[in-house]
Amino acid sequence: MKKRVLTDFAYGLIIGFIAAVIISMTIFGLVYVGNKNKELSDNVQNYIELQQVIEELREDYINLDASDFLDAIPGVRAAADGARDDFERKLDEVLFRFRSRLSD
């Protein structure tokens, strides 16, 4: 008679454990891939929504004239007025120097 190392019950436990591990890993893999695809589709949906908002803003800014554009964007009016004041000040200085040379 041949001596067995493991009984049929032990073989059944080992094979059952291996089968349970394989089934668990398969289920885990499917759930993981499903969640990854869902997250990816959510990111694509957010991207599409952001692109629509960007397109709407682009349309709004394209249809603005110069004065509306300066009023619509915060800080642009102040920067433009400051640049205009600086230009006028420098122009006055240049004209003053030119006139003072002519009078000398």
Indicate whether 11 and 56 sit together in one domain.
Answer: yes
> How many domains does one find in the chain?
2
- What residue numbers bound the domain in which 34 lies? 1-63
Say whether pLDDT at 18 is over 70. Answer: yes
Indicate whether 41 and 71 sit together in one domain.
Answer: no
Q: How far apart are CA 39 and CA 10, in angstroms?
A: 43
Say whether pLDDT at 50 is over 70. Answer: yes
Indicate whether 59 and 70 sit together in one domain.
Answer: no
Is the distance from CB of 11 to CB of 5 less than 8 angstroms?
A: no
73: pLDDT confidence band, cut at 50, 70 and 90? confident
Residue with tokens 């120097």: 97
pTM: 0.41
Q: How far apart are CA 102 and CA 104, in angstroms?
A: 6
